[in-house]
Chains A and B, each alone.
Chain A
């Protein structure tokens, strides 16, 4: 599959998905979201991929939906684009049994911010910013933002961010727990790439079950969650990576995980 509005590269178990419309701060056109969806499906089907790095080319991470996209006018129903493209992307990202790192290199607005929040670990450049722009044009946050926001920053900040649409700095986002970390602009890609490679060489089965357990924790009560942990731990206890991890720990050497 060849792509035009994104690039997808794979090396050493790491897939890197880069939004690639730098002249528009990677605003999402219909063409781009179709390619993003295709790329996530390709990543999901490729057993050699053990972690994903999501970033944007140029000054922006993703400026949200491209309101000047000519294809948008042919489709006045904003619900149908969510149904066909955006929601499947968010669902695939969350269900993907592999860790996703977002390297937020610049502005993450609208659904661009949703992409960052749907990742498992988001790291932002110091100059990056976050904005729930939707209410500025009479819409509500989508791409799962109305679900992610209250869980990440609490009810009060979630409502204010959605209703007042302030642009917040990467530092503020970190302080509020919206993202994992902030680094100097020049350090963003080296840091995020190193982290993503580390995850790609990690105990993939363990990382996948951590992800799934956290997904379920959002709805489970503690008692249900304890049962989930028991079941997942039982499965993980039978993996090669667990045996390797314990052996390496006892031998005081570095573990060599295979993702099996």
Chain B
């Protein structure tokens, strides 16, 4: 039987990518990583994709590499993370004498601060979803039964939103990590100037002044 390690479905501007090795808690192998790279490249190149929803089938989101444990870092690379109340976040690498990868050593201090980052990486402590939310590692915890409904609603909202603005926010926050405030103010000026010319910004301001909901097109 041929395994499809990542299920992809595009609807309402949302590309849903579902890690699909449920018998291994969606642990990464070469096939899964290759499929993820293919699908992310498609998401980048295809203008009809306006948001991506990443999740896993079965009981696990992603248990990491078949032998290591980088599943949590797949989630931390996302812009907004919703977690089921029963989900757990685990930097398991140190247990097999490795270190966090997939950006884990960068994401952790940027998400939860140095003290917690070092402890999580060195101790391999497993966090509950609620602990992760309190630390700012994930945006929101929701009940298990409503996770997919909430996440789908959020992804559709973003897909119907001013996507040029989201892209600019994403890029600006990426750059903020290494920019000085001075450089960042110039970046904001340039991005704001470009966004100010967009159809979505004109619509947003017009809708605000008319006190009606805006109809964004992503242009």
Contacts and interface: CB of A to CB of B under 8 A. Distances in A.
A136 B208 contact: yes
A68 B187 CA distance: 26
B74 to A, nearest CB: 14
B146 to A, nearest CB: 17
B98 interface: no
A1 interface: no
A237 interface: no
Given A77-B196, A163-B166, A218 B110 contact: no
B118 to A, nearest CB: 13
B169 A159 contact: yes
A28 to B, nearest CB: 14
Interface in A145-168: 145-147, 149-151, 153-160, 162-164
Nearest to B82: A160
B193 interface: yes
B209 to A, nearest CB: 6
Interface string A58-71: 00000000011000
B173 A142 contact: no
B213 to A, nearest CB: 10
Contacts of A149: 173, 176
Contact of B185 (A91, A138, A155, A218): A91
Interface in B75-106: 76, 79-81
B205 A146 contact: no
A134 B165 contact: yes
Interface residues of A, number: 45
Interface string B175-219: 011011110111111111101101011111101110000101000
Nearest to A78: B196
A146 B172 contact: yes
Nearest to A140: B168
A154 B111 contact: yes
A135 B169 contact: yes
A90 interface: yes
Interface stretch (B26-34, B53-61, B64-72, B131-139): B131-139
Interface in B139-168: 139-140, 154, 157-158, 161-162, 164-166, 168
A159 B173 contact: yes
Given A147-B176, A156-B136, A160-B80, A140 B208 contact: no
A46 B130 CA distance: 49
A79 interface: yes
A70 B151 CA distance: 40
B170 interface: yes
Contacts of B158: 163
A76 interface: yes
Contacts of B188: 82, 87, 140-146
Contacts of B110: 150, 154-155
Nearest to A143: B188
A157 B79 CA distance: 9
A156 B80 contact: yes
Contacts of B162: 135, 137-138
A5 interface: no
Contacts of A138: 162, 164-165, 195, 198, 200-205, 214, 216
Contact of B136 (A82, A134, A136, A176): A176
B173 A218 contact: no
A209 to B, nearest CB: 18
Interface of A: 67-68, 76-80, 82-83, 87, 90-91, 94, 134-147, 149-151, 153-160, 162-164, 176, 215, 218-219
6 shortest interchain CB distances as A-B pairs: A79-B193, A137-B204, A78-B196, A138-B201, A138-B200, A138-B162
8 contacts: A137-B205, A138-B200, A139-B192, A146-B172, A146-B184, A155-B173, A159-B169, A163-B79
